[in-house]
Amino acid sequence: MSLDTATRARIETLLKDHRVVLFMKGTRQQPMCGFSAAATNTLNELLPDYHTVNVLEDPEIREGIKAYGDWPTIPQLYVEGELVGGADIIRQMYGSGELHQLFGATPPDRTPPEITITDKAAEAIRQGTASAQGVALHLEIGPDHSAGFQLAPAGDHDIVVTSNGIEVHFDPGSAQRAKGIVIDWVSTVQGEGLSLKFPGAQTIGSITVQELKQRLAEGSITLIDVRPAHGLAAAAALPQARVLEEEGYEALAALPKDTPLAFICHHGISSQGVAERFAAHGFSQVHNVEGGMDAWSREIDPTVPRY
């Protein structure tokens, strides 16, 4: 792959002007792919500030950076003008402590957390992983308490914890955030699945669209619309709502912890997960809107499009 002189000069200027540069899809506040999100989540833990380049907005840089470092994928991390690598290498270096050393950060605490896996959750995990060979169960917990399980090969630097006969692998940051968690198997109106309860997290309440209408009229609750762009395009957010995708998680998480919050999505499923993250962050009055925008359209305002 060739690299024209003008694009090379642009890349070299970026690397000269910024010690740490991440070429990624999307932005630090709104990554547009899972690998870019994983890279920013890791860097956010170690660096208060670093420069990002959204290659989706710059086709020349998107292709040019691949040729510049002879690296075929995005994201790409550069430090002091040198290519470090992509998402997998960033993750590996974070787990080993090499990334901390590179940035002059405090070495990671590798103390294994105490966790609890209930009998129901353990049985569900055993059934779900019965046919998996050569992989381990990993649990990643982000700084905002978003969590996800995945099956992947064990890493040399994983922090491994066993509870109720189930082995769980963590990276250092996830391990520290996992202290005291309870992993359970729950059944709700939204379906069945694994659930994480953090120490001190508040219970999520349900609120009907009728109750929401009344409290919005009173001004006694803050409504947060968690739908992605395509959902907002199909049916715009209510005038009183704050939009998570526009304001960002960090800005909304800075609200006073006693702020009454209600979360709404299309049908009330994804909003439950976001509500749980805010509750884990210490918010004491957290509600999920039953039925979401679809229920609002059916029961409150039929002019709101259903989709």
Which of 265, 280, 286, 293 is an active site residue?
265
Q: Could you write out the DSSP letters of every residue in 82-139?
A: EEEE-HHHHHHHHHHTHHHHHHTPPPPP-PPPP-EE-HHHHHHHHHHHTT--S-EEEE
Sign (positive/negative) of CA torsion 93, 98, 101, 102?
negative
Q: Is residue 33 flagged as an active site residue?
A: no
CB 218: neighbour CB atoms within 10 A?
8
Instruction: Report which DSSP code applies to 49.
Output: -
* 240, two tokens: 């009183």
Residue 210 one-letter amino acid: Q
Radius of gyration of the chain, Cα coordinates, nearest whole angstrom: 22
The three-state secondary structure class of 248 is coil
Q: Could you write out the DSSP letters of every residue in 134-165?
A: S-EEEEEE-TT--EEEEEEPPPTT-EEEEETT
- Greatest CA separation for the chain: 62
- Answer left, alpha or beta for residue 21, where phi above 0 means left and psi between -120 and 50 means alpha: beta
* 56, two tokens: 């989706």
Residues assigned a catalytic role: 265
